[in-house]
Amino acid sequence: MIFWIQYVTHGVHFGGLPEATTPQIDSALIDRLIQVESGGDPTAIGAAGEIGLGQIMEATASNPGFGVAGIDPATLTDPTVNRQFTTDYLTGLSDHYGGDLEKALAAYNWGAGNVNQQGLDAMPASTRSYIDSILNV
């Protein structure tokens, strides 16, 4: 299965160049990520305290970075809120890594700091398996 990132253009910059683009992650990719993360269980709580469909940590919900607005961690148990945050966060990571879904998924699973400091060649086998299970359906 192939996943797409669609870019939506907002306005036109001087000279006819796009002013800003917002990547939109394909909903099938989010569905697969959620299946891998929580088995689709909105009440799932991970071993490290991850919550809900996208297995979001409370600290990530509060202060996600990457241009993503934080949310109240108490709302992570709401499947609609969790799915939207998961989508927004992965979109922010994808944008940060120039649309590179492999890097974005590695950062989602292993942490952006690890990806930035160590690179994909150093990622653990569990992260490689995670990426493969989402992208190679």
Residue 11: DSSP 8-state: E
Whether 37 is catalytic is: yes
Tell me how many helices (H) and strands (E) the chain has: 6, 2
Distances (CA, A) of 101 to 3, 16, 18: 9, 28, 22
At residue 111, the 3 state secondary structure works out as coil
Task: Please identify which of the residues 37, 50, 58, 102 carries the catalytic annotation.
Answer: 37
How many Cβ atoms are within 10 Å of 136's Cβ, its own excluded? 7
- Catalytic residues, by residue number, are 37
